[in-house]
Structure 1
Amino acid sequence: MARNTPSRTLAVVGALSAAALALAGCAGGSGDSADSNTLRLWHYEGEDSAMAKAWNEAIEVFEDETGATVEFEQKSFEQIQKTASQVLDSDAAPDLMEFNKGNATAGFLASTGLITDISDAVDEYGWADKLAPSLQTTAKYSEDGVMGGDAWYGIPNYGEFVGVYYNTDAFAAAGLQIPTTYDEFVAVLDAFVAKGITPLAEAGAEYPLGQLWYQLALSRADRQFVNDYQLYENPVDWQGPEFTYATDTLQEYVENGYIASDVSSVKAEDAGVSFINGTAPIFVSGSWWYGRFVEEAGFDWTLRAFPEATLSLGSSGNLWVVPENAANKELAYEFIDITMRPEIQAIIGNNGGVPVAADPADITDEKSAELIATFNGILDDDGLSFYPDWPAAGFYDVIVRELQGLVTGAQDAATTNANLGAEYEEGTADFR
């Protein structure tokens, strides 16, 4: 449930091992791969994205400092995901590429030996000192591909998180203050309902509703709960206080009018637009909406962490990974190091991204500084808790389906949790 296409996070194990596309169609020629002075680089960020702007500058710095040439190929997310197994097991592998974090993505490649254990490079360049513990989790994997292991298989240089967007103009018009406690948050929801306004922009046909549900569970959880749920350290109690509270409370949100009664058919885009056009004054979702709201929302707004929560949905961004068959690994490490420099991190931060190692003094855009300060506050609390669909392949669709059943009244909270628990147990059996 990360970014704008959340289901892509884990439902790729089969696709990674399937011959979905011909190698020649996506890998390009490999004639230059043996050139010791050429870095072959792949990523899939759009040209106008904060990351692409930063990495384009990094390419110029790299070429100037090393005298090497960067052979960059922009791939689509789907190209890399669908053909990774085949391409990386051949001499067509690049030297460095962006790849999705998570057990069934980067973890799968790590467990099959297709990407390099870069632990020595991490020590040499000191990257661990620049990454908070919860950011490191998605970069390190065990022998069987479970994140949070001992070996480094990637480096992230941006992050993402879920918080609460507030339309401050709407709050001012209603005579309300931005809440700082959960009780105040609920009081605000009640106040808007009393004025005939449905306060929460939500979407039950896609990821936002599941994010709110998981955030409610996190509000009653601790780090051990996250480790049990995401890293399989101990059994998860699906009738325990965390999930019971989350599912009961979500049902109450619908009953109390905090969420529209037709939420089960609403998609993420519709929810985001309802915040942009001022229909709903509150939206619980991710930092990936931030740049769009800057461009399109015609009112003053702010993003805060969920009130009183010490744990928040979020993670590192995607990873730089070095294929095991890379011809020029040392060049890859040099390039990664440049992307971690403060001046490159500042480009991410000043263009609507969330850098992981920026100097706050380098962030000159006021809105961006607010975003990064919120993210850094979550990091300071070791609060990043990943996404609810990560533990098992296909679990995103299960969460959407079961929460739709809950909010439409087709099933009660206990049944919803029982169904979720059964699917979770089945999907994670191989890891426990």
Structure 2
Amino acid sequence: MPEQHPTSPARTAGSRLRAPLAGVAAASALATLAACSAPGSDSGSGTSANATPTAVSTAVGNTPATLTLFSAAGLETYEQGLADAFHATYPKIKVKLRVEADTNYNTVLPRLLASDSTPDIVQPYDLLGGVKDNLLTNLDAYDKAYGWSAKVPASALAPGRVSNGVIGSGSLYEAGGSAGPLVGVFYNKELAAKAGMTTVPTSIAGLEAVMAKAKASGITPIVASNQDGLIGHLYNLLLGDHMGAQKLSDIVHHKPGATLDTPAAVEATQTLQKWIKAGYFASDVNSLNQEASYGQFTGGKGLFLFQGSWITQTIDKNFKGKYGVFPMPPAEKGGTYAGMTSNTLAFSIAARSKNKDAAGLFLDFLTTPAAAKVAVANGYAALTSGTSAPAEPSLSGTATDQIQTGYATIAADNGFDSWIQNAAPAVGTKLTQQLQLLVSGKVEPAAMVKALQSTYADAVKSS
């Protein structure tokens, strides 16, 4: 996982690790796997193990049906809100939650998907396994019927696509709307004013200029914890900026030929090293843990904190109204925005579901403002009015407003990606080690990138 906090679901080459998430305040589950295959038959016919339906109906809103949504306990409140909103729109269709303890969700799910009592709608932690074993429905026909690919940012749908055993392209197996945490730049309003930051930086150079002014004014520019490798949030943002979201996602999804060992990744690492050498971090950053970093930020001991919107649940307790957040600026002014997230409005339909068309209607409902409203009410950023013309990131408005704007800005550029740690557990371990060495001056950027690539390549071979 990206860090030891309640954060976003993360999918590796074969599995999605689901851990409790508090997007601004929500939750998910944890991960392991086993699966078995299911025979096929026709969609909507009562015998419903057809993993690839071709004839689907969208005219089912007035047809009585009861859908079962398999939910982890930590997501129950959020998913019940979605179920209630859907039922309010389509009164003849009920959505009943089947709730499982977070720690049991991933163990129970494969067995349920292969059983005759399968739920209709799930959030699979192992998308590749579910597709391989014909436990999940190919949603291409529903995508075409409802036009999801035109409604939802491509980068939000990509983690639900599978082609030849690789996530990121091909047929759609997980779909819905677009909602999740924003990982960006949190700032202390008082210190930002002292550093002369009057507008949101629009490039890495602009961000550096603010940090240089802060440093010259006696303000520590960046608060971070690196005892647990959480400078990794900043590093991932820099990788997304320099490599581009798609290439970073290709690594996480184990696309053949994807590699971290590139000039762009080295450049991102050099940028981080430059900030370390410039003294933009506290001298004891390698000994600080996550909780201590939150205390430093809310204690006014640093200007910026590169984190995810889940932290608002923690820092609002004594810092509400005193901070803001904006998306990581592009590498160059006018460039594309990128940032890590996970799509909490993405769901799959079980291959053995007897109500595929009604389930397809539920997935389509997740693309609507009504579903986005539920997501926002549960603390997520969500797209509520498309991505064609998002508001410009601003220092004004509430933190919630800024989170929504930042998320929409990244969505408009199809810039959603994931944490490189999610490529494999070994990569996460190696990254923490390498970040600590980089801070202590014991590794150079090119060598660090090669070490991470070597670990990644070994993980891909063994997976």
Which TM-score applies when normalising by structure 1? 0.81
- How far the C-alpha of 1:92 sits from its partner, in A, is 4.1
Match of 2:68 in 1: 40
CA distance in 2, matches of 1:222, 1:47: 31
The aligned amino acid for 1:17 is L
User: Where does 1:257-406 land on structure 2 (aligned, <5 Å)?
Assistant: 257-290=279-312, 292-294=314-316, 296-309=318-331, 310-318=336-344, 319-358=346-385, 367-406=399-438
CA distance in 2, matches of 1:171, 1:392: 37
Match of 2:27 in 1: none
- How far the C-alpha of 1:137 sits from its partner, in A, is 0.7
Higher helix share goes to which structure? 1
Match of 1:148 in 2: 169
Match of 1:234 in 2: 257
The aligned amino acid for 1:317 is N
The aligned amino acid for 1:96 is I
CA distance in 2, matches of 1:223, 1:7: 17
Structure 1 residues 182 and 271: CA distance shift in structure 2, 3 A: same
- How far the C-alpha of 1:197 sits from its partner, in A, is 3.0
Match of 2:179 in 1: 158
1:188 aligned onto 2:210: yes
Per the alignment, in what secondary structure is the counterpart of residue 419 of structure 2?
coil
Match of 1:75 in 2: 100
- How far the C-alpha of 1:59 sits from its partner, in A, is 5.1
Match of 2:147 in 1: 126
CA distance in 2, matches of 1:335, 1:225: 32
Structure 1 residues 412 and 367: CA distance shift in structure 2, 3 A: closer
Match of 1:28 in 2: none
CA distance in 2, matches of 1:126, 1:55: 21
In percent, how many aligned pairs have the same letter? 23
CA distance in 1, matches of 2:173, 2:79: 24
Alignment equivalent of 1:94, drawn from 106, 119, 126: 119
Q: Which runs of 5+ in 2 are unaligned?
A: 18-30, 36-47, 49-63, 392-396
Aligned-CA RMSD value: 3.5
CA distance in 1, matches of 2:435, 2:410: 27
- Residue pair 2:252, 2:423 contacting (<8 A) in 1 also: yes
Alignment equivalent of 2:449, drawn from 392, 407, 417: 417
Match of 2:278 in 1: 256
- How far the C-alpha of 1:377 sits from its partner, in A, is 1.6
- How far the C-alpha of 1:52 sits from its partner, in A, is 4.2
Q: Deviations over 1:17-57 (max 9, x none)?
A: 359xxxxxxxxxxxxx9xx94322122374797x4474153
Match of 1:27 in 2: none
- Residue pair 1:113, 1:324 contacting (<8 A) in 2 also: yes
Alignment equivalent of 2:110, drawn from 85, 91, 99: 85
- Residue pair 2:227, 2:287 contacting (<8 A) in 1 also: yes
- Residue pair 1:163, 1:304 contacting (<8 A) in 2 also: yes
- Residue pair 2:177, 2:366 contacting (<8 A) in 1 also: no
CA distance in 2, matches of 1:37, 1:381: 38
Q: Deviations over 1:148-170 (max 9, x none)?
A: 22333333441333211112222
Q: Deviations over 1:81-120 (max 9, x none)?
A: 23333332223431112345xxxx3233223322211222
CA distance in 1, matches of 2:400, 2:97: 28
1:55 aligned onto 2:85: no
CA distance in 2, matches of 1:372, 1:71: 29
- Residue pair 2:227, 2:286 contacting (<8 A) in 1 also: yes
Q: Deviations over 1:154-190 (max 9, x none)?
A: 3344133321111222212444434333233223222
- Residue pair 2:247, 2:258 contacting (<8 A) in 1 also: no
- How far the C-alpha of 1:6 sits from its partner, in A, is 5.4
CA distance in 2, matches of 1:271, 1:421: 29
- Residue pair 2:8, 2:342 contacting (<8 A) in 1 also: no
Per the alignment, in what secondary structure is the counterpart of residue 138 of structure 1?
helix
Q: Deviations over 1:221-255 (max 9, x none)?
A: 346633653452534252x3222222233233233
CA distance in 2, matches of 1:190, 1:76: 48
Per the alignment, in what secondary structure is the counterpart of residue 370 of structure 1?
helix
- How far the C-alpha of 1:355 sits from its partner, in A, is 1.6
CA distance in 2, matches of 1:70, 1:308: 41
1:111 aligned onto 2:157: no
Structure 1 residues 340 and 228: CA distance shift in structure 2, 3 A: closer
The aligned amino acid for 2:448 is T
- How far the C-alpha of 1:383 sits from its partner, in A, is 1.9
Structure 1 residues 296 and 337: CA distance shift in structure 2, 3 A: farther
- Residue pair 2:246, 2:417 contacting (<8 A) in 1 also: no
Alignment equivalent of 1:16, drawn from 21, 32, 47: 32
Structure 1 residues 17 and 386: CA distance shift in structure 2, 3 A: closer
CA distance in 2, matches of 1:80, 1:146: 22
Aligned residues: 407
Match of 1:25 in 2: none
CA distance in 2, matches of 1:141, 1:424: 20
Which TM-score applies when normalising by structure 2? 0.76
